[in-house]
Amino acid sequence: MTLEVDRHASLSTLLAEYDVLAREAQTDRGSTLLDVAPFPDDVADNLFTRPYYERLEAVLARHEATGNHAAVALTALAPRLTPGEDQADPAAQLTTMLDQATQKLRPGKRARARVAGLIPTPEEPILDGMWAALAQRQELIETAARQLLQDSEDGGDA
């Protein structure tokens, strides 16, 4: 039972939970950004149902977490998508292009705070219930990270 409790309280589990909650909190924001991007005909409607859509949401969040504007990137990248059934998944195309663009950019002035220096906090607005869940995970993550650091330091003295 102790092992199971430790597994659920592990830093990796808490980080994964926070990531899922943060992405869920940003779903409406991502949808809004994609709704207004200048996609070629018949592309925008299909993005939301594509297998890569969840990955696209994560890349959008990561782009914004660096302090860069996702709307600017989408405005530049959306027209470059190649629509058509014989072409690659447009969500996968956009994910790749946005990920590459993010890697090339320097962090912007609006870079967001990170939980334990690892995961960016989500962009507002976020519902109160979701904020509470995120704040709870953040506290647990930071406690687990401090404990891991302490255990590492204590192990180094032995």
What is the pTM assigned to this prediction?
Answer: 0.69
For the stretch 42-52, pLDDT in tens is 777 778 888 88
Q: What are phi and psi of 37, to 5 degrees?
A: -70, 145
| Confidence check: pLDDT of 27 > 90 | no
Local structure of 124: helix, strand or coil: coil
Q: Which range in 44-53, 76-85, 144-153 is most confidently predicted, on average pLDDT?
A: 144-153
How do strand 119-120 and strand 114-115 relate by DSSP bridges?
antiparallel
Alpha-carbon distances, residue 132 vs 19, 25, 117, 121, 141 (angstroms): 14, 11, 20, 13, 14
Looking at the structure of the chain, the number of domains it has is: 1
Look up the domain containing 131 and give its range. Answer: 2-157
**Amino acid identity at 109:** K
**Of residues 90, 109, 86, the one with CA closest to residue 34:** 90
Q: What are phi and psi of 119, to 5 degrees?
A: -110, 130
